[in-house]
Structure 1
Amino acid sequence: MKHPTPVRRAAALFAVAAALCAPAFAQDKNSPFDPQALFAPLSLPYPANAFRDGAGKPGPEFWQNRADYDIKARIDPATHSLAGEETITYTNHSPDALDELWLQLDQNIYKSDSRGALTSPWPKKPGQTTDGYQLDAVEVDGRPVHYLVDDTRLRVDLPVALKAKGGQLKLHIRYHYTVPGEWGGRTAVTPTKNGDIYEIAQWFPRMAVYDDLRGWDTLPYLGQEFYLEYGNIDYAVTVPWNWIVEGSGQLMNPDQVLTATERQRLAEAAKSDRTVYIRKPEEVNDPSSRPTRSGTQTWRFRMEHTRDVAFAASPAFVWDAARINLPDGKHAMAMSIYPVEGVGADKWNRSTEYLKGAIEHFSSKWYPYPWPNAINLGGHGAGMEYPGIVFDGYTDSGKLLFWISAHEIGHTWFPMVVGSNERRHAFMDEGFNTFIDVYASDAFNHGEYAPKRDSEYAPHGGNPVDEILPLLADPDAPSLMAHADAISEKYRHSLTYFKGALGLVLLREQILGPDRFDPAFRAYIRTWAYHHPTPSDFFRFMDSAAGEDLSWWWRGWYFHNWQLDMGITGASYVDNDPAKGVTVNLVSRQKLVMPATLRVDFADGSHRDIRLPVETWRFSATPKVTLDTAKSITRLELDPDHKLPDADRSNNSYAMH
């Protein structure tokens, strides 16, 4: 036999390859699905470089600036005001000399002419404004400096540039402001029958972040959340003698501000898995529950490796606590403070139990809780999180109290430990946290409050892949990558919380599987703890650590709001012989596809589940798969367990004739 020449051999191979590749261009004219678009290489917004590498990790030249605070504050209940002074030790690790510093003045959002007040979806009523921060002194290294206040930002002009790669200065600011009433939302004065509750947050000028992405990140505070530098914070709060103060971090002077009985009860609680009263309801108005009976007391706290601190102060607090059991034999304390109005067997009596259970679950499954205390405040109901303390509602009870307590303390992991930019990428905050909530609710007390498949503000218990369908079908809905301030209230919950969480549930349970997802997600938290990852870092990290190119998923679910509608259009036995297998005709009638289970029901009553990879649709909207089934079939069904957000399930099954 004559052998073909190299040219003829190449031509023959090309013809075979062309025949095999022909399905790549087979399109269903009735379907918007385009495999060339879905599976194209994905260019991420932030490129890999020496600062953030291709594996989604901090690169060899990564740096991050640092802000340490020493703060003293005094509350005047007669005027509902807070006066403070802070010294910020700011360290510039960047490669750039800095001519100015930028700080965040979030209290200025309460001014009548602030950007946030004028653009908020919640109009203020008369009297629901303050004058914001009043700055009494701004000094650098002991000398007054020129500064500019612009809405919720403060620019401090430096007389001498702060040196790169380790330059350090001390910025001193004296200030005062009026604490908002209940209308303040995240920070407020809340009246109760035994006295006002001061819920104090965003209460000191805080350093803006200077990073490798855009230099100073100076987005105004419009009502979205925060982006802050890490460091250690020492703070002291002076209040009337009969008040209790609890806040972020460790109480440093218990001998001065607690009675011997309260200190003994705290020691008992530190060894107890059951809730122990530190200050009982009947002791709230008892002067003997305080170590002095006149004047003021100064409470001193310290928190390490944190981006912020908050606290609550009131004469009205009931206080209880219990031990938190952490991995490797470590412990922390769960505490609750609330007025007597919150007392009840199904109310705040269980708050510490809820807090303890949630933290123990999050710590064992994802990353250990990092601080000595975790506090749940029963106040006016902000539903707001800060490092080591969360602000919830004293009227909450039952499953709502559990869900909101678990959700708010879950923010410890996102964004208090993993410091994503909440003002830009809300899904990395609320979406990631709502995702870990799902499993915390399943785990608590044998599923007492399960299932939770949504955030605390929407119906629970329904099938999430059905609840998401209206959002995916909405042509006006923004994508998860939309700027946080650009997501209207109409979409804020359904997009940021719900779709953000469901994206990770689907990634874990339907795309990667827990054995690949869980180690990768834990490693992501561990790698970016106390640092500032971007969405690009997260996407790259999960691709690399989980061993899967997920570009198609990031594109369809995160960068777009694409729908999914896969189905079966027909099936036939190979050569009309069941013993030779079956060819199944599939279809995608929307832009997104996912891995799916195909269930084959046999005539003998048995069934077989076959996992179809996402690459099934790599070349066509109408792929065909041939299965080695070897016996008679009665029915075929895609996604038989209803795990995928399929827009139209009417075409998911096919009966064999």
Structure 2
Amino acid sequence: MYKFFTLLLCICYSIYSTAQNYDPNKVFAPGFYTFNGNAFRAADGTPGRAYWQNRANYAIEAAFDTTTNILSGTEVIEYINNSPNTLDYLWLELDQNVDKENSRAQSLTAPGLEPAPDKGFKLATVELNNGGAWQQAAYQVQDTRMQLRLKKALDSGKSLKLKIRFSFKLLKSSAADRAGILQTKNGKIFEFGYWFPRLCVYDDLNGWNTLPYIGGGEFYFEYGNIDYKITVPAGMLAVGSGQLLNGKELLSDKVLTHLSKAHASDKTVVIYSQEDIKKQSPTKKISGTVTWHFAMNNTRDVAFALSKAFIWDGAKIDLPSGKTAFAQSVYPEESVQGKSEWNHATEYVKASVEDFSKKWFEYPYPEATNVAGPIGGMEFPALAFDYYREGGKGLWALVSHEIGHTWYPMIVGSDERRYPFMDEGFNTFIDIYAQEDFNKGQFAPKRDGEYAPKGGNPADEIIPVIKATKNGPTLLSPPDGMDYKYVHPLAYFKTAFGLVLLRDIILGKDRFDYAFRSYTKNWAFKHPSPVDFFRTMDNAAGEDLSWFWREWFYNNWELDQAITDVKYVDGDPAKGALITIENKEQMVMPVPLAVAERNGHTQHIRVPVEVWQLGAKHTIKVNTTSRLASVVIDPKNQLPDSNRENNKWKP
């Protein structure tokens, strides 16, 4: 009797423990969306009829001294207040200040650094024209931000102008590795990102977005037109976001001839070769200084690079509409030596842009530029900085990923500083299919570095990430608010895998692709929030996915689906089989089942996710004509099931 009650107690405890790991009221709780749609952001995830966003246009004239490494410039900013509110002050980002010894970023990692007066922005003058004459502006710098306090408020529908004279010294690694210098055998490469003061976003979600730049979170800026001129020593080659406007006046006749051929060629054409570097200048003028004039419309930022060491090649990009754009790469001699294969970089840019344009949204800019240099991988609108020694599959992955950021978040302008999953994760997701498409899968399948054991599959690889972050940050956490070791596995890998689950398991390719394209089209050149994305996918796909958003993005729950019992109706296989499945952890998913009979017949059944609304266990009836040989949950191993041992039943 004692043994019986002990056994009964153990059975009851086991059932109770299992039940406590899954609560349908958590994952299927009502009221996921805590507010209704409004005039600014509609309930279906689209911009509302009264959606607004402010605009910032820039005209910049800068000069770079290659002996002191100091860039100095003057920018005139036209700021347009499209909001319904009157603004008493403005906020700007001064991201170069992250390098100052007293910055918030430095204080977090190495407090008490020795003073370094040559780091960060130096502001010579800040002037304001708010409907009258130019006047000195009242401003205050706080770390990587600057507040301008307006004597005359900026009314709704009005604009003002700012004029800022600024300078900073480019370091070997500047602005938390978003700019820098590399010494090569033929000269230095200078890369400039985060290089001028920029307006913060003022929106209907947070008002002024003034999160400080600490290094993990990237940027969030208003759209506008940016016209910029860079004066540098003659003989250097410069590339920048947007389009070179004065190439015919600036470039040598030989370079112009090769450039014209490249614009018309589907194959990569060398515009300025390794031999040319040693023999002639890329510019008509060979002494003194020259001014490179670039412009980019409807963009949230620009970056540029320059060097005497650049080899330059390019090719035509063919777009779905019949229009064309131009892919180009610049790189030093070292980038085509050993395992470095930068002579393929333009081919990779072209293929990636064509693939993303066909699948998601047509590329809207005239050029796509890839720069080899010291920065490991950093994206800007229509331009990427990539590591100069990369080659093989690594170069493809790097080039495709960084230029892919032109879609997310440069076209679809999400807040990188708060929600890295909306750019890094979405971009990693579209990389998967571009990698499958390129050259018949030459570099496929895509894997995520240390999370990709040899011979594994993505579903198995994500399980350690889910376990490691079970009590840690979620996908809604800002990058500067989590241990940096979690940023890549969550923002990049978990997000991308979650979208694959949506596409392959939950919605299917057609419904997912239509909804994802709708999101991209509706929020192109606008500022979506995570909820705008969730609502769009729900509405365009026609599915209430709140359970998935809750478990995958707002929590780090585990999945463990099991087969706990198999028997026959009245003990007769001819009357059908009764299969009992159980959800042992808090995450839920639809249940793909492969039911094999001994007569050789196999059925593939999909049990919808709603089965878990009623509890942790469910029994389904399957029509059979003979005894079962096996029953398997998720036979293709597509789900991130943490215990596959209980996914299989055999008699």
Q: Same fold (TM over 0.5)?
A: yes
Distance 2:114 2:599 in 1: 75
RMSD of aligned alpha carbons = 1.8
Paired letter, 1:60? R
Matched, 1:167 2:170: no
Distance 1:339 1:617 in 2: 58
Tell me the residue number matched to 2:491: 496
Which of 109, 115, 120 is the aligned partner of 2:104?
Answer: 115
Tell me the residue number matched to 1:453: 447
- SS at 2:357 equivalent: helix
Tell me the residue number matched to 1:277: 270
Q: Is the 8 A contact 2:238 2:307 kept in 1?
A: yes
Q: Is the 8 A contact 1:207 1:229 kept in 2?
A: yes
Tell me the residue number matched to 1:401: 395
Q: Is the 8 A contact 2:101 2:115 kept in 1?
A: no
Which of 621, 625, 629 is the aligned partner of 1:630?
Answer: 625
- Cα deviation code 1:492-548 (max 9, x no counterpart): 111111001111011111100001000110010000000010001110110000000
Which of 626, 637, 644 is the aligned partner of 2:639?
Answer: 644
Distance 1:366 1:598 in 2: 32
Which of 474, 483, 497 is the aligned partner of 2:478?
Answer: 483
Tell me the residue number matched to 1:133: 121
Larger mean Cα displacement after TM superposition, 59-68 or 125-134: 125-134
- SS at 2:321 equivalent: helix
Which of 614, 618, 623 is the aligned partner of 2:613?
Answer: 618
- Taking a change above 3 Å as real, the CA distance of residues 289 and 245 of structure 1, as seen in their structure-2 partners, is closer
Which of 395, 412, 416 is the aligned partner of 2:410?
Answer: 416
- Taking a change above 3 Å as real, the CA distance of residues 288 and 381 of structure 1, as seen in their structure-2 partners, is closer
Matched, 1:563 2:554: no
- Cα deviation code 1:548-567 (max 9, x no counterpart): 00011001111000000001
- Taking a change above 3 Å as real, the CA distance of residues 46 and 538 of structure 1, as seen in their structure-2 partners, is farther
Which of 419, 424, 440 is the aligned partner of 1:425?
Answer: 419
Paired letter, 1:533? P
Identical-residue share of aligned pairs (%): 49
Q: Is the 8 A contact 2:233 2:289 kept in 1?
A: yes
Deviation of 1:478 (Å): 1.2
Matches within 5 A, 1:316-331: 316-331=309-324
Q: Is the 8 A contact 1:186 1:382 kept in 2?
A: no
Which of 210, 215, 225 is the aligned partner of 2:207?
Answer: 215
Tell me the residue number matched to 1:367: 361
- Cα deviation code 1:609-634 (max 9, x no counterpart): 01111012120101111122333211
- Cα deviation code 1:223-251 (max 9, x no counterpart): 11001000111000000001000000010
- SS at 2:125 equivalent: strand
Paired letter, 1:250? Q
Q: Is the 8 A contact 2:453 2:461 kept in 1?
A: no
- SS at 1:485 equivalent: helix
Tell me the residue number matched to 1:347: 341
Deviation of 1:42 (Å): 4.0
Matched, 1:548 2:543: yes
- SS at 1:203 equivalent: coil
- Taking a change above 3 Å as real, the CA distance of residues 123 and 529 of structure 1, as seen in their structure-2 partners, is farther
Matches within 5 A, 1:62-73: 62-73=51-62
Distance 2:281 2:119 in 1: 38
Distance 2:405 2:368 in 1: 12
Q: Is the 8 A contact 1:451 1:460 kept in 2?
A: no
- Cα deviation code 1:36-80 (max 9, x no counterpart): 211112434665322111101111221100001101110001110
- Taking a change above 3 Å as real, the CA distance of residues 310 and 415 of structure 1, as seen in their structure-2 partners, is same
- Taking a change above 3 Å as real, the CA distance of residues 634 and 494 of structure 1, as seen in their structure-2 partners, is same
- Cα deviation code 1:272-297 (max 9, x no counterpart): 11100110011113234431121000
Q: Is the 8 A contact 1:347 1:398 kept in 2?
A: yes
Tell me the residue number matched to 2:6: none
- Taking a change above 3 Å as real, the CA distance of residues 361 and 525 of structure 1, as seen in their structure-2 partners, is same
Deviation of 1:28 (Å): 5.6
* Structure 2, unpaired ranges of 5+: 1-14
Tell me the residue number matched to 2:63: 74
Q: Is the 8 A contact 2:340 2:389 kept in 1?
A: no
- SS at 1:222 equivalent: coil
- SS at 1:568 equivalent: strand
- Taking a change above 3 Å as real, the CA distance of residues 390 and 29 of structure 1, as seen in their structure-2 partners, is same
Deviation of 1:654 (Å): 1.0
- Taking a change above 3 Å as real, the CA distance of residues 46 and 470 of structure 1, as seen in their structure-2 partners, is farther
Distance 1:449 1:276 in 2: 23
Matched, 1:60 2:54: no
- Cα deviation code 1:434-489 (max 9, x no counterpart): 11111111111111100003269966773111111112123333111112211211
- Cα deviation code 1:558-614 (max 9, x no counterpart): 100000000101111111111111111111110011012110111112211011110
Tell me the residue number matched to 1:23: none
Paired letter, 2:353? I
Distance 1:259 1:267 in 2: 12
Distance 2:443 2:149 in 1: 53
Q: Is the 8 A contact 2:451 2:462 kept in 1?
A: no
Distance 1:489 1:455 in 2: 16
Distance 1:241 1:160 in 2: 44
- SS at 1:587 equivalent: strand
- SS at 1:30 equivalent: helix
Paired letter, 2:124? D
Deviation of 1:364 (Å): 0.4
Q: Is the 8 A contact 1:129 1:180 kept in 2?
A: no
Distance 1:461 1:71 in 2: 51
Q: Is the 8 A contact 1:196 1:314 kept in 2?
A: yes
- SS at 1:263 equivalent: helix
Matches within 5 A, 1:5-24: none
TM-score by length of 2: 0.94
Tell me the residue number matched to 1:20: none
Q: Is the 8 A contact 2:331 2:342 kept in 1?
A: yes
Distance 1:117 1:537 in 2: 35
- SS at 2:539 equivalent: helix
Matched, 1:37 2:26: yes
Q: Is the 8 A contact 2:429 2:500 kept in 1?
A: yes
Distance 1:592 1:168 in 2: 50
Residue-pair matches, total: 628
Tell me the residue number matched to 2:3: none
- Cα deviation code 1:328-347 (max 9, x no counterpart): 11110110001111125861
- Cα deviation code 1:408-436 (max 9, x no counterpart): 01101110000000000111111111111
- Taking a change above 3 Å as real, the CA distance of residues 242 and 348 of structure 1, as seen in their structure-2 partners, is same
Tell me the residue number matched to 1:89: 78
Distance 1:534 1:389 in 2: 24
- SS at 1:468 equivalent: helix
- SS at 1:591 equivalent: coil
Distance 1:415 1:190 in 2: 27
Distance 1:396 1:46 in 2: 47
Distance 2:136 2:36 in 1: 41
- Cα deviation code 1:80-128 (max 9, x no counterpart): 01001101111000011111110000000000110012224x9999899
Paired letter, 2:95? D
Distance 1:459 1:123 in 2: 38
Q: Is the 8 A contact 1:110 1:130 kept in 2?
A: no
Distance 1:225 1:237 in 2: 24
- Taking a change above 3 Å as real, the CA distance of residues 107 and 616 of structure 1, as seen in their structure-2 partners, is same
Distance 1:377 1:409 in 2: 11
Q: Is the 8 A contact 1:453 1:462 kept in 2?
A: no
